[in-house]
Amino acid sequence: MHKPYYAVIFTSTRTTGDKGYGKMAEFMELLAKKQPGFIGIESAREKTGITVSYWESLSAIHDWKQQADHVLAQKKGITDWYNSYTVRICLVEREYNFNKNT
């Protein structure tokens, strides 16, 4: 059994042009990995971008949301980078895996 943990599903559509987005996204991922309670992160973008990050607790998610550089990035997200986004904070209730090589 896993300890209960949380997933934050961030789905977004971008504005046109990079405008410093790529660099900041990389930096945010590095910073997130240093946050207490961080478990992991996965991203993919086509028409929609989806980033899922995993956290040990709601308070870890809250602290990351308040992290100073992340707050700045959130502001730039609204003014420059995103046409739209949705953040969903989710309790992972069950999971299962398949791996060909194990």
CB 77 within 8 A of CB 65: no
Residue selected from 16, 32, 50, 66 as contacting its own copies according to rule CB under 8 A: 50
CB environment 21-59: b (16+ within 10 A), e (fewer): beebbeebeebbeeeebbeebeeeeeeebebbbbbeeee
Single out the segment in contact with its own copies by CB under 8 A; choices: 3-11, 22-30, 31-39: 3-11
Structural Rg of the chain based on CA atoms: 15
Stretch that binds its own copies, among 2-10, 17-25, 29-37 (CB under 8 A): 2-10
Closest separation in Å from C-beta 36 to its own copies:
20
Q: Which residue of 23, 29, 33, 48 would you call a contact of its own copies, by CB under 8 A?
A: 48
When asked if residue 87 is in the footprint of its own copies (CB under 8 A), the reply is yes
User: Which token pair is 8?
Assistant: 């934050």
Question: Of 22-30, 31-39, 81-89, which segment contacts its own copies by CB under 8 A?
Answer: 81-89
